A = this chain, B = another copy of it.
Amino acid sequence: MLYLVGLGLSSVEDITVRGLKIVQRCARVYLEAYTSILMAASKEDLESFYGREVILADRELVESSSDTILEDADKVDVAFLVVGDPFGATTHTDLIIRARSLGIPFEAIHNASVLNAVGACGLQLYNFGQTVSLVFFSDNWKPDSFYDRIKENRKIGLHTLVLLDIKVKEQSFENMARGRKIYEPPRYMNIETAASQLLEIEDLRKEEAYTEDTPCVSVSRLGSPGQKFVAATLGELSEMESGEPLHSLVILGHRTHEMEIEYLLDFATNKIKFQKAVETEVEAAKELQPPVTADEDDD
């Protein structure tokens, strides 16, 4: 059996009791460590907590040598540990499709991921539209497919969760060209870079998917003891110091509930400015659109 075990967000103890029991009895335990990281635990911490060896699975192993991971998994139990929930990244679906084609049974042990835990900032999860990803820009590579999606979400008043790039075990172009297996230090996108990149694309596209006055929430170290939310405009966030990783960002939509704002104001650097930014959005939306239908019946 292949077990895909979600580890949750931060510490070794964020694994579920069921997940822990499975990990402790599996023949081999792999840790996927390139789409995300546990904030408060290293491979060694996990090994000491589980009382057993953990094999680090990098992108190459998972994407090109998945059969190594799946070897004998029809006879013995193999665990594949994933930060957050096992279905957070496309890569893991690949692994399951491969297992299925080999006739290997599998089971997922779910856990929290940023996609649901982000509710801790006070925004209601049912008011979120599609999630987007933002990668590190380079001088000549600034992919902006997120832009149209944020615009789609905001047009109908929904919040957008922006997932920020992490670079683990990346080679420099020079090292890659020369075939040298030397890797750059890991990089995790912070809030100020994310906000600046978002504004850079708005400056190029000028379709007002958002502006520097758009109300946002920065989400730092979600689910860890150092968790921090900051409610501010996108312009303000481009100048903040967000500190240690991991970070995500939420761009608000105009369909905000009073209770969401009440909750968020506690995290605002400038309450008056933030409240005004929200009100401006709501007013602008009213002018553009026909009256909205009655609010969802809360049942």
Q: Given contacts A16-B17, A120-B108, are A97 and B259 in contact (CB under 8 A)?
A: yes
A145's partner among B86, B130, B145, B297 (CB-CB below 8 A) is B297
Are B18 and A152 in contact, CB atoms less than 8 angstroms apart? no
Q: Can you list 20 A-B pairs with a CB-CB distance of less than 8 A?
A: A8-B16, A13-B17, A14-B16, A17-B20, A85-B112, A85-B117, A87-B120, A88-B116, A88-B125, A90-B124, A93-B263, A94-B259, A110-B223, A115-B116, A126-B132, A130-B156, A145-B293, A146-B296, A152-B294, A165-B299
How many copies of the polypeptide does the oligomer hold? 2
Are B148 and A117 in contact, CB atoms less than 8 angstroms apart? no
Contacts of A120 in B (CB 8 A): 86-87, 108, 110
A295's partner among B9, B145, B288, B289 (CB-CB below 8 A) is B145
| A294 to B124 alpha-carbon distance, docked (Å) | 25
Are A133 and B299 in contact, CB atoms less than 8 angstroms apart? yes
Contacts of A122 in B (CB 8 A): 93
Distance (whole angstroms) from the CB of A288 to the closest CB of chain B: 8
Interface mask (A148-186 → B, CB under 8 Å = 1, otherwise 0): 100110011010000001000000000000000000000
Are A110 and B15 in contact, CB atoms less than 8 angstroms apart? no
Interface set, chain A 120-152, CB cutoff 8 A to B: 120, 122, 124-133, 135, 143, 145-146, 148, 151-152
Interface set, chain A 262-299, CB cutoff 8 A to B: 262-263, 266, 288-290, 292-299
